[in-house]
Amino acid sequence: MGAVYFYHLTETPLERTLPPLLNKAREAGWRILVRGTDEAILDRLDAQLWQDGFLPHGLAGRPHDDAQPILLGQDVPADGFACIMSVSGAVISAAEVEAAERACILFDGHDESALQFARGQWKELTENGCKAQYWAQDDGRWTKKAEA
């Protein structure tokens, strides 16, 4: 039974927040799916992950998807991934949270539609019995603000 962590980005952009989270997930030995809704954002993250040091990953739909320790894609089933990370408003279902070790929803705190999406995901997932934590940035540090 997994848990979903919500990351409210207010001080650092997604490109700087995602790599440390991916590193922590890799240290746990997890295979990670980064699910997005915007191909341009996924392409940007792909380029950033190569620039920030070596985080082995690939973009979905290319050769060897099943061998990638980190896979970035749209509409990729969560089967075979221990950790699912949602960016750019990608939906994670309660069944996916329950099947994974961890699910993470990263959202831009300066974007009203992203805030509404995250609130909707929190409500849906917690109403369906998923354990959830809400983390916000405070002076460069992550602080847990809520738990359900």
pLDDT digits over 122-146, tens only?
A: 999 999 999 999 999 989 899 999 9
Burial class of 111 by CB neighbour count within 10 A (0 to 12, 13 to 18, 19+): middle
Domain that holds residue 59: 3-147
pLDDT digits over 12-31, tens only?
A: 999 999 999 999 999 999 99
Determine how β-strand 70-73 pairs with β-strand 83-86.
unpaired
Q: Count how many domains the chain has.
A: 1
DSSP of 52-73, one letter per residue? TS----EETTSTTGGG-SEEEE
Q: Residue 107 belongs to a domain with what CATH number?
A: 3.40.50.10110
